[in-house]
Structure 1
Amino acid sequence: MKNISLKSRSDQADEGGPLAGATLWPIAPGEALNRWHVSQAEVEYFPGAARPMPDAIDYRFINGWVATGDLPCREALRARLLIRDVQLPALIDFSNIYLGGEDPRVDFSTFCFRPLLIRRWMRCVVTADTAQTVRFAAETCGGMHVWLNETKVLTHEPYDRNIAHSATFSADIPHGESLLTVFLEDLHERDTSCFFKLMLLEGKGVAAGIQARIDSHSMREVEATLNGLRTDRLFYDKGTVRVVADYLPDRPVEIELGPDWHPSETVTMNVLPDGVGKTAQPIRFTISKDNPTATLFDIAGLRAGCISLTFVVQVGGVRIERGLGTSILPPPLSLDQNHISGRKRAALDVMVAGGKNEPSRALVLLALGKEPEQAARLIEHALPPVIERHDCADFWLLPLLWIFRAHAWTQLPDELWERLRGVILNFRYWLDEPGDDVMWYWSENHVLCFHIAQYLAGDLFPNDVFPNSGKTGLQHRAQAEARLHRWFDAIDEHGLAEWNSAAYYPIDFLGLFTLFENTDDPRLKERTGKLLDEIFVMTALHTLESVPSGSQGRIYEKELFAGTATELASVAAIAFGGTWYAGHDRAAALFALSDYEPPPLATDFAFPLKGKRLAARYTQGLNMNAKLSLWKCADAQLSSVAQYKTGELGHQQHMADIQLSGHMLARFWINHPGDLKVWGGSRPSYWAGNGINPRVAQYDNVALMLFDLTRQPHAIRFTHVFLPVELCDEVVVETNWIFARVANGYVGIYGSSALEALQQGLFAGMEWRMHAEKAGWLMIAGSADVHGGFSAFRESCLALAPHFDADAVSLTLDHPDGKLLLPFEGELQRAGTPLPFAPLSTVPHIGVDGGALHPWTEMKELSA
């Protein structure tokens, strides 16, 4: 065998001596190799040849991946695959080390706004006690090639967008040390699952690992130290962010928290894209037995929300990273004006004073006649993503159209107005026009935004020919008008697939507010106002103490861990009053500038009076497949979705949660992880969505959940609950039960098997796992007004005496109203009588204090 060096370019240029021995970990059959040397990513802009695509949108919207067919970029990639041959380079710069932790996958999933072909090289050392033939299973999203030493042993190039494919292969491993090299490549088209997993199927005495200019013991100490890092809190509302080490090395480990760096083309949707924004200088600290903690930075002046923290160790000529996240909530503002007009004006004043680099803020500045130079800069900042047709450019374009319609040729230089006019005329407004972009045309919110953009652009320039389509403005307007009515028809029939989504209701608002204020068509104005009313009622029902929460059709971890610092929370604060974290104001700015006002009853839904209990039931989504239930009082809220794709692979659907009003972040939920990479970019992720969807039913203040992980070949075989202990006033933990109190709100959680508390890691003390492929869970909400003292609430929960039948996958409860039985398939039963979900209506039906449910449109006020 020819000697293959693992040295990087920097190693070969370094005179510090040869590499030390490898740090190895035994690999048994069924285990994955998840520690690798990694090269820097090679990124190539890869658009392909522009062309139109068939308009196959059927306006039957779903949550999940939509098979779009190959876009021009993927067609170009498939053409390249026919003529290229991937060879093992003589020299690869392996500057980083990837440590997978719990996750068996080597995962680089992310979000790219333009088509980018991204490739990486990975290498690890493999040893065997004896020469033998071993078998591996390889799984990838993307394409991968594998070499053992200099011999290629696998070419696996499915390149199906966001669809994983597997292959097996054999390799003859000699006695002693070998090198395993992997080439991973994928075409990133917006949200992209990009990973590989290499699992040993057959082999004895096999070990794998990494090599650097330090000894094996020191390398293990560095890994253990990084894996043991966590922030001292998950939520910061004041003071400093500190890091704690659960593992203390025998020798000091120097760590750096670098300045936040987010590549302009790639992001993750779980944290703020602008990161901490605290300093351009890295923060360095040392972890040792004498220094188990370190102070990082003060949160004063930071924008509220979830942020990413990347910890780096430079050792032995390599770079090792560990990513974490945390939530920042500096002091909020209060919108306590009695009338919405006052809240709108107060919000606009705050937006004028500061905010993100968004065109919505430029619209505010122009509308109020303030700071035209700043408005010009904001518009200039917004133009490149639209010109380059980044994904989500339709979101940026809507306020730009409003700006042009309301303020063209005033306040700003004529050349900027002329440039904006050209940008509007040259945009690609639908997939049947020529394009080589990866803008997403298939989801509910994007379809709406594209149609409104096309309608208003055509209305602005009726007699101009739009160069990309060859159509006149009049043709664009007529085409978009018909498409918009088709979209409204679909929503009228089915409701919204992205129900209650704190991430995507604001995107709907971007379109709806823009259309409401800028159309002169009475029918479109009426339909827009009616839908805005419906969304605001649903938002109010699922908002507790200024936090939009509850079951959601699409969600990310930032909505779960910082729900009060979302765009929807900004809109809700203006609409209903309450706490407001300014800064996430794209949709809120448009709302504040509009003449639209929500139904007055919505505020009563958002802030129920002490002693009142609200119940709501309605459906949303295609064929009414999301059956939503709500139980709510002033102190607690339980929301769930029933019978949603039970037992199927999930996406971003959040099935059930409890929110307590005593703290804005006192939120509790259960899910089956879709991914083991904490704060990763997968959909579903560790906490957001479900790998396999549960069976859910809600009866009053009790949600029953059944998981059957045998229904799908999913690698993760546990479910878990998040319980924010650090925010709770009381917590009682028993074998199968956890009870928590925040102020006057209560939570009861039951698991059908013993609940294992995590002792280390970011969620130590706040995550409990149930290691059972078939599992039953209960989530019970309560309050002092409804259930008396906390002890009385606990006793009422225990009296339910839940029993889980693993063979039948069913859960029974001794409820005071009669024995409840939830089977995995079939209706919830009470005292042997099926309780089919009702009403099957997209209009929320609401009841008070146990009374009958009535359509909200027929209610004048909340009364018993």
Structure 2
Amino acid sequence: MELTLNEYGYITNYLVSGRKETPYSSPVTGKDQLACEKIMRKEAVDHSPIMPEGEIRLGVQSSLSMPWEYYYTYGNWFVDKSLFYPLLKKIELHGAVILHVEEELESEAWLWSYGAVDVWVNGEHSGGIETPVYKPINRAVLKFHLKKGDNLVFVRLQNLGVRDTRTLFAIQIPGEERRQIKVKLPGMDTAEEAVAAGQWLSGIRVTKGVLKFPKKAPENTIIVYDKRPVDFSLYGSRYVKKNISGQEEEILDAHNLYFTVKVSICGQTLSRRFERQELLGPVWSNETDPERNKERVYERIASVLQIPRGDGDNFSMYPVLARRYTGAIHEIDEKEIYKSLDQMESRRDCSDFLSCAMVRFMKLYPMDEALSARCKEVMLNYRYWMDETGNDGMCFWSENHSLMFFVSAYIAGECYPEDVFSRSGKTGREMKEKARTRIHDWLKETLSEGFDEFHSGGYTPITFAALLNVVDFGDEELSGLAVKTTDRLLHDLSLQTFQGVSIAPMGRVYREALYPYAQDIQSLVNLIDPEAPDWFSEWIIFLATSKYKIKEELKALMKEPLSLTYDESNASICIEKNDHYMMTSVQSPREGMKRKWENIYGRDGVDAGSFAYVKSLNECFHGTTEFQPGVFGYQQHMWYAALNPAAVIFVNHPGGSCEASSVRPGYWFGNGIMPAIRQVKNVLCSIYRIPESHPIPFTHLYWPKSRFIRQMMKEGWLAGEAGTGYVGIWCSHELKPYQDELTDCEYRADSRDTAYICICESQEKYGSLEAFLSDCITKNPSYDKGTGTLRCGNEILKFEACENKTQYV
């Protein structure tokens, strides 16, 4: 069996051992958690010039005391074992491959990783990456001295597991010598079956509801449908499995969106995920009365026993609050409250979500003596900010997290005014006073400057919940500011609503960007307008017992045609919206305007407890609020063009090479490198120039074919029709269809230097898709790579690369 490097020179076949996870603790502490984590990342790893010993063969135990396995992930150029860690861990991973050459060869090799990595070739240390980072990805340039014949390449990766941790590496041969290199695996005779199974999985295609196999399915092949219930208590029946061994095709269940094909072979299981996006559409509640709709929403939250947190954990305080409100108290509620207190006590990441719910529970509902004592014990010992003693992996600094910590400290301090909080050494009264200052600054700056995590499909409802705690339990001034800030949040959301769905560029985004109507933020849209599509979100239960009132005029604002530009934080957002289409984007760069606030992180003499410092720290970690071309991106969503809530398109530069990638920025959300973008009404121009310092050399277009009535491609343009509008997109490079987890949704432009033009128009203006496409072609767009200049009609956009050192963490 002959294996090769892929078209970009990446090695894509390895044996791996690990990910080995060991609980980690450190004495490092301080007011700056990012600095602490930087130190811990360095302390958690140990380099050695000596290659780990042991036989490398499928199924044999490595020096990590874990078996060697064949690594397979469809379309991945990386060995990627990334995971989210709510508690600190030390991570170790080994990889091995054989490079075969017919003659002695010296080759440059690029090593990509976020972790600390050592590489050996034939037992000789060939270099690596010294220190792990959070972002951006590191590239080390190595020299491989390859002897004639087989050469063993061994990789040892180490990292600190803290929240979203990228445990991955890749080796790329960038030069022409890659054509002389063949790939083998150690103990190839034992691995051939696994390799063949991976190749079979890669050959699967979905066509009109039928799973087509390249040849008969191997023995021990199953299809696993995933129902993904909202309630974690139903996870026992989450999966439906069917044996498909020996089949050449499988007619898919018409009601299951998500499924995985798994092959058990050579003592391990290889798998490939699929998703039928055409089956996930907007859902309406059929309730039109706002008050009845609210009660329906609250009762639905109450009906859920536990909210999933990943595949193996759950939170439950928000459903408990819903059941207290509706009176449908469940027999498990007391146990779930105690469990929530235990989760807080562990100080796992996102435990502030629980503390924010717990303080609301404390203010609203009576507790018996035992629960009251346990609650007090946990609250007095909780860590409410980075300047308090302790060491953990909690994220304090994001826009939603920071307010949740502040308001939790404020209310807990009020509940226990004379008691001493062990981690701060302050009395409750002092805790409340300090938290009040931080809440005040958060509200004042956000109200005047806008939201850093603007329009976030996942985080906006969390921020909404935190704000309601201030509305209801803050003093008169804080409550008033919180009302105004919540009004602004919902007002700006209304601006970005199209045909009842939030369509918006976002300061922080996840993969749900593919389905705007299936983001948590849609629950807020539905509260404003019950006739809008519905979506489940536990966060809005705070509204049930809040004095805050949603303004009635927002419903009408959502439906108004708009042509405007406005600011959120340091971003400038454009909207062109009417009955037929919506185009919206952030401008990159935002021309003619200075930053609203300066990033002070790392400067001497600054107050590490100030909200200005918190905002700065968050911008470093979760991505800049100032959109500039050429800057390393994170989770920012740059633009949408929509003809209806499902027929949406956008382009991004992915952070990974495939859907299964676990990195942030992801395959469909965020951008590895930010583009230049300018929108003028219904025309959007963008340029993506990807430097060699980023491993992914292509951009791609999300174009869900099933959502369009018709589509046409001609002279570099792709045009589609849906609803009562048209959308067309031009690319300076050939767009090639690509199939991954989604089918018929993606076009790739295999170039590091690519320009795009997107245009929306109404059907009433053109009358036919052919006429619209013909007019697009007459605009005669052109892109000059030499100068980085894009021209389309009267519009000109020039790419001028920027650098932002705050994005190196």
TM-score by length of 1: 0.79
Select 1:293's aligned residue among 240, 245, 250: 250
Residue 78 (1) aligns with residue 53 (2): no
Equivalent residues in 2 for 1:275-290 (5 A)?
277=235, 279=237, 283-286=241-244
The letter of the residue matching 1:207 is K
**Matched-pair contact (CA < 8 Å) for 1:704–1:822:** yes
The answer as to 2:495 corresponding to 1:541 is: yes
Aligned residue number for residue 214 of structure 2: 248
Query: Which shifted more, 664-673 or 163-172?
Result: 163-172
User: In structure 1, what residue type is equivalent to 2:507?
Assistant: G
Counterparts of 1:706-855 in structure 2, within 5 Å, are 706-710=687-691, 713-758=693-738, 760-784=739-763, 788-814=767-793, 819-825=794-800
Distance 2:428 2:689 in 1: 54
The answer to whether structure 1 residue 391 and structure 2 residue 349 are counterparts is: yes
Deviation larger for 370-379 or 460-469: 370-379
CA RMSD of aligned residues (A): 3.3
Contact 1:212 1:316 in 2 (8 A): no
Does structure 1 residue 229 correspond to structure 2 residue 204? Answer: yes
- Aligned to 1:41, what secondary structure does the other structure show? strand
1:292: Cα distance to partner? 2.4
CA distance in 1, matches of 2:572, 2:123: 56
Counterpart for residue 20 of structure 1 = none
User: 1:633 deviation in Å?
Assistant: 1.7
Q: Answer yes or no: is 1:190 the counterpart of 2:133.
A: no
1:634 is the counterpart of 2:579: yes
- Which residue in the other structure is 1:595 paired with? 547
- When normalised by structure 2's length, the TM-score is 0.84
**1:336 is matched with which residue: 276, 287, 311?**
287
Equivalent pairs counted in the alignment come to 744
Q: 1:222 to 1:296 in 2, by over 3 A?
A: farther
Cross-structure match for 1:359: 317
Query: Equivalent residue of 2:164, what SS?
Result: strand
Q: Secondary structure at 2:46's aligned position in 1? A: helix
Paired position in structure 2 for 1:26: 4
Q: Does 1:615 align with 2:540?
A: no
Give 1:658's aligned residue: 641
Whether the 8 Å contact between 1:676 and 1:685 is mirrored in structure 2 is no
> Structure 1 residues 231, 756: closer, same or farther in 2, change over 3 A?
closer
**How much has 1:255 moved relative to structure 2?**
2.3
* Aligned counterpart, 1:564: 517
Find the partner of 1:128 among 98, 101, 125: 101
Contact 1:352–1:361 (8 Å) recurs in 2: yes
In structure 1, the residue corresponding to 2:98 is in which secondary structure?
strand
> Which range is displaced more, 636-645 or 275-284?
275-284
Deviation track 1:637-694 (CA, whole Å, cap 9, x = no partner) reads 1111102212212111111102233xx4222111122211214221111111112211
Partner amino acid, structure 1, of 2:326: L
Is contact 2:222–2:242 with CA below 8 Å preserved after alignment? yes
Question: Does 77-86 or 438-447 show the bigger shift?
Answer: 77-86
- Measured in 1, the distance between the counterparts of 2:370 and 2:548 equals 33
Give the counterpart of 2:632 among 649, 655, 663: 649
Deviates more, 1:701-710 or 1:312-321: 312-321
In 2, Cα distance between equivalents of 1:461 and 1:570: 34
Are residues 121 and 337 of structure 1, via their aligned partners in 2, closer, same or farther at CA, if it must alter by over 3 Å? same
Q: CA deviation at 1:32?
A: 2.3
Which residue is 1:527 aligned to? Answer: 481
* Aligned 8 A contact 1:128 1:173 in 2: yes
Residue of structure 2 in register with 1:436 after alignment = 391
Q: Secondary structure at the match of 2:563?
A: strand
3-state SS of paired residue (2:112): strand
- More deviation, 563-572/588-597: 588-597
The answer to whether the Cα contact below 8 Å between 2:263 and 2:269 also exists between their aligned partners in 1 is yes
Deviation at 1:100, TM superposition (A): 5.2
SS in 2 for 1:682: coil
**2:622: which partner in 1?**
none
Residues 124 and 323 of structure 1, relative CA distance in 2, 3 Å threshold: farther
Amino acid at match of 1:334: S
Provide closer, same or farther for how the CA distance between residues 76 and 174 of structure 1 changes in structure 2, counting only shifts above 3 A: closer
Residue 491 (structure 1) shift:
1.6
* Aligned pairs (5 A) from 1:687-706: 687-706=668-687
**Partners of 1:564 and 1:28 in 2: CA distance:** 37
**Alignment match, 1:371:** 329
What is the rounded CA distance, in whole Å, between the counterparts of 1:134 and 1:272 in structure 2?
Answer: 51
- Partner SS, residue 733 of structure 1: strand
Cα 1:27–1:669, aligned 2, differ >3 Å: closer, same or farther?
closer
User: 2 CA distance for matches of 1:774 and 1:184?
Assistant: 32
Q: Which residue of 1 aligns with 2:87?
A: 114
Q: CA deviation at 1:527?
A: 0.8
Residue 415 of structure 1 corresponds to: 370
Q: Structure 2: how far apart are the matches of 1:95 and 1:347?
A: 49
Call closer, same or farther: CA 1:478–1:231 in 2, change over 3 Å: farther
Distance 2:505 2:405 in 1: 27
Q: 1:454 to 1:706 in 2, by over 3 A?
A: same
Residues 550 and 659 of structure 1 are in contact (CA less than 8 Å); yes or no, is this contact kept in structure 2?
A: no
Kept in 1, the 8 Å contact 2:211–2:251? The answer is yes
Shift of 1:336: 3.3
Distance 1:273 1:697 in 2: 42
Which segment drifts farther, 650-659 or 149-158? 149-158
Aligned residue for 2:184? 209
Q: Does 1:311 align with 2:277?
A: no
Matching of residue 49 in structure 1 with residue 35 in structure 2: no
Shift of 1:589: 1.4
**SS in structure 1 at match of 2:324:** helix
1:575 aligns with 2:533: no
Give the conservation status (yes or no) of the 8 Å contact 1:364–1:593.
no
Instruction: Confirm or deny: 8 A CA contact 2:583 2:760 kept in the other structure.
Output: yes
Partners in 2 of 1:79 and 1:822 — Cα distance? 46
8 A contact 2:565–2:574 mirrored in 1: yes
Q: Distance in 1 between matches of 2:772 and 2:107?
A: 57
Amino acid paired to 1:517: D
How far the C-alpha of 1:46 sits from its partner, in A, is: 0.7
Deviations 1:356-375 (A, max 9, x none): 43311211111232215343
* C-alpha distance in 2 between matches for 1:534 and 1:752: 39
Contact 2:119 2:125 in 1 (8 A): yes
Q: How far, CA to CA, are the matches of 2:795 and 2:397 in structure 1?
A: 40
Question: Contact 1:221–1:249 at 8 Å: present in 2 too?
Answer: no
Look up the match of 1:69.
35
- Give the residue type in structure 1 aligned to 2:395: W
Identity across the alignment (%): 23
Q: 1:392 to 1:765 in 2, by over 3 A?
A: same
Distance 1:809 1:164, change over 3 A: closer
Equivalents in 2 of 1:581, 1:356: separation in Å? 20
- What residue identity is the alignment partner of 1:46? Y
- The CA distance in 2 between the partners of 1:29 and 1:638, in whole Å, is 35
Contact 1:656 1:669 in 2 (8 A): yes
How far apart, in 2, do the equivalents of 1:120 and 1:273 lie? 33
1:654 aligned counterpart, secondary structure = coil
Distance in 1, Cα, partners of 2:227 & 2:27: 31
1:435-454 map, 5 Å:
435-454=390-409
